[in-house]
């Protein structure tokens, strides 16, 4: 079996609260982003972009998250607000993959959106290959236009995923996987 197949078999999501540092260095992050960008992209549109949250940027994003959550949920308790404040600090690094899909004369939106999803998957696989663990999440913040606008997203842009990257002690237990035979039709 090739190393690539072993890597794919090994990939599992790690709960961000179990992640610890050190996360990827700036050099490793730059390489991860370059690897993630090597995905199918009909028309060479690069219909995605990245926002990297690291260091104090995680704290600023967390403060914004708590602020928007409080405005939407004025009765929220301090414990919940603290959890929202810490949302971007659960892993050493968080990378937002932003889908920039837009109407195009030849390239359907769906193909552009799938390219952004492929970026998320390539990013998680590349990080695992470097020895890190990942979690591809969205959560409410990926759909809240106020939060997204404050992050600098344009109206047509959406979050394909927040990719949390860090290290985990020990192995991650695998989950039950789908029955591929039940999902396959041979024609």
Please indicate if the annotation marks 29 as binding a ligand. no
Which residues are 86's β-sheet partners?
Answer: none
Please indicate if the annotation marks 42 as binding a ligand. yes
Alpha helices in 73-144 (DSSP H): 78-85, 109-129
Please indicate if the annotation marks 18 as binding a ligand. no
Please indicate if the annotation marks 115 as binding a ligand. no
Please indicate if the annotation marks 156 as binding a ligand. no
Please indicate if the annotation marks 99 as binding a ligand. no
- Distances in Å between the alpha carbon of 80 and those of 25, 109, 135? 31, 36, 21
The closest alpha carbon to 104, from 45, 63, 21, 148, belongs to 45
Q: Would you tell me how many other CB atoms lie within 10 Å of the CB of residue 179? A: 8
Q: Which residues are annotated as a binding site for FMN?
A: 11-13, 38, 42, 136-138
Residues annotated in a binding site:
11-13, 38, 42, 136-138
């Amino acid at each position: 079996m090739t190393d690539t197949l072993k890597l794919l078999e090994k990939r599992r999501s790690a709960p961000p609260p179990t992640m610890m540092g050190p996360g990827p260095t700036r050099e490793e992050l730059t390489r991860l982003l370059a690897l993630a960008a090597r995905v199918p992209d009909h028309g060479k549109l690069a219909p995605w972009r990245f926002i990297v949250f690291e260091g104090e940027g995680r704290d600023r994003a967390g403060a914004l998250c708590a602020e928007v959550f409080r405005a939407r949920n004025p009765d929220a308790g301090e414990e919940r607000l603290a959890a929202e404040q810490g949302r971007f600090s659960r892993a050493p690094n968080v990378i937002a993959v932003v889908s920039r899909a837009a109407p195009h004369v030849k390239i359907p939106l769906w193909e552009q959106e799938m390219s952004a999803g492929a970026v998320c998957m390539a990013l998680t696989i590349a990080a695992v290959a470097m020895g890190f663990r990942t979690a591809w999440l969205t959560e409410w913040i990926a759909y809240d236009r106020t939060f997204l606008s404050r992050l600098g997203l344009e109206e047509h842009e959406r979050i394909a995923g927040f990719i949390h990257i860090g290290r985990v002690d020990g192995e991650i237990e695998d989950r039950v996987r789908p029955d591929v035979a039940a999902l396959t039709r041979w024609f």
